[in-house]
Amino acid sequence: MNAVVSTISQLLPAEIIDTNAEQIALYSQDVFSVGPPICAVVRPRTIDEVQSLVRACLERGTPIVTRGGGMSYTSGYLATAPDSVLVDMTSMDAIVEVNLEDRYVTVEAGCSWQKLYEHLAPLGVRTPYWGTLSGRFATIGGGLSQNSIFWGSGQSGTAADNVLSVSVVTGKGELMETGSASQQHAAPFMRHFGPDLTGLFLGDCGALGIKVQATLPLVPVAGAKGYTSFAFHESGPMLRAMAQISRESLTTECFGFDPYLQQQRMKRASLAADAQQLSGVVQQESGIVNKIKQGAKIALSGRRFMDDVEWAMFTISEGRTEAEANHQAARIKTICAGEGGKELPDSIPRILAANPFGPVNNMVGAEGERWLPVHGLVPHSRGEAVLAALESVYERNRSTLDQFNIETGYLIAVVSEQITVLEPVFFWPDELNALHKHSLEADHLARLNQFDAVPDAWDAVYKIKSELVDVLSREGASHLQLGKAYHYHSALKTPALQLITGIKSALDPDGIMNPGALGLS
């Protein structure tokens, strides 16, 4: 038995320690990369078990990496050295407290965004930011460690913008609580009690500790929603329209696709999926007349209206009343018309809103290709210029892209009132890895092409992806999911770098917490 495994086996129950070879292989890779093989997967069920594990690893100097739902692509939970221990937090998924009077919810870090959303919905509340599209698997602890966007981000910002308190086991095995809960005799009802210790642990990629609980604010579920869809001939008008919609805080979600990514999404869809998702839309509508009206509208529109669309933009707005939601939609239509946008049927945002946490089949291409996104968050004023700079990287590498049949596209989104998100994506024929096969629906996986491994194609994608990251860094972009893929350590100004390295040393003096994350050793 491995010496590390032998040590932790003496301190922890055998049923939470997994050394099965298939599990070791699965948990040693993410969506894009494969890391050194870990020596064990540990699935703690309590805070005490997390602390015992950390103390055992500290005694032996064993590195620890922490994993939530596993939907990352930036090596965030991949080990940098063999014989590391991976902590799978998904067994700690309890909803600890829902406090409707004081408007907060406390959850264990392994709780998925979908589980929390569905638990809160009958109570008429939700969190302001309420998860990623991969929220069926993605956990709240993972979302806070990596930071994330989508549901609610148009008005409420990122996951990290919507946290009151976290409980973290540090690299010394100590339990630290933040926000108002950092003081004696207080509940986790407020983020600030002196310096913002909560923010310190958000976006840290597990480099500063293991999140075991989080407390998030609650807001009422909206009384009404509004939807719009628009087509644009070019990226510039769409980016300008999205920026203005964002500045006026008109949507909870606003996102768009370039022509290639739009085609991918349409190819992935099927008549069976349309029918299944249509039932979600009908159930969401209030009143029998509305149910019939919206169901018929979507069934008749189908997906043919997207055939000739180039750049496509979609919005979802929320209001306390139908009148408020309709007012927001009307203003969005005015903005888009001013940029030359052509209005489309609103079936796509309706279907998405009615089925917020679908299968993660989009983690591969429509024909079974590998998929890799890259992203940068920039101020609205820089969106068009940075997109042009990214496009120049593709043009410089056109012969390589053609050689390996690598296709590229863009997802565009907005966050709060200030931020444009640019997400270049790659698709290329290559062998799927164990994580893909574990995460995709079995019937969907069975329909896909089974490509052979093409290591040179993976290397080419890695090289071009790295060039995109370099461009984004030079343009001053910010990032989510920093992991071990984006510039952080090398990008910081000296005073900030000295501060974060000092904090790392104070919380994790032996450097066992996710070595290499954020570029910190």
Between CA 205 and CA 201 the distance in angstroms is 9
pLDDT of residue 300: 46
pLDDT of residue 415: 98
Helical ranges in 98-231 per DSSP H: 113-120, 140-146, 153-156, 197-200
Which of 100, 89, 107, 300 is closest to 213 using CA atoms? 107
CB neighbours of 499 closer than 8 A, spacing ≥ 6? none
pLDDT of residue 60: 92
Helix, strand, or coil here: 13? coil
pLDDT in tens, the chain (521 residues): 688 898 899 989 999 999 999 999 999 999 999 999 999 999 999 999 999 999 999 999 999 999 999 999 999 999 998 899 999 999 999 999 999 999 999 999 999 999 999 999 999 999 999 999 999 999 999 999 999 999 999 999 999 999 999 999 999 999 999 999 999 999 999 999 999 999 999 999 999 999 999 999 999 999 999 999 999 999 999 999 999 999 999 999 999 999 887 777 666 554 345 445 554 554 555 554 444 444 445 444 555 555 667 899 999 999 999 999 999 999 999 999 999 999 999 999 999 999 999 999 999 999 999 999 999 999 999 999 999 999 999 999 999 999 999 999 999 999 999 999 999 999 999 999 999 999 999 999 999 999 999 999 999 999 999 999 999 999 999 999 999 999 999 999 999 999 999 999 999 999 999 999 999 97
pLDDT of residue 269: 54
Helical ranges in 355-478 per DSSP H: 383-396, 398-403, 434-439, 442-447, 455-474
pLDDT of residue 334: 98
Q: What domains can be seen in the chain, in order of their start residue?
A: 3-90 (3.30.43.10), 92-220 (3.30.465.10), 224-354 (3.30.70.3450), 368-474 (3.30.300)
Between CA 197 and CA 210 the distance in angstroms is 15
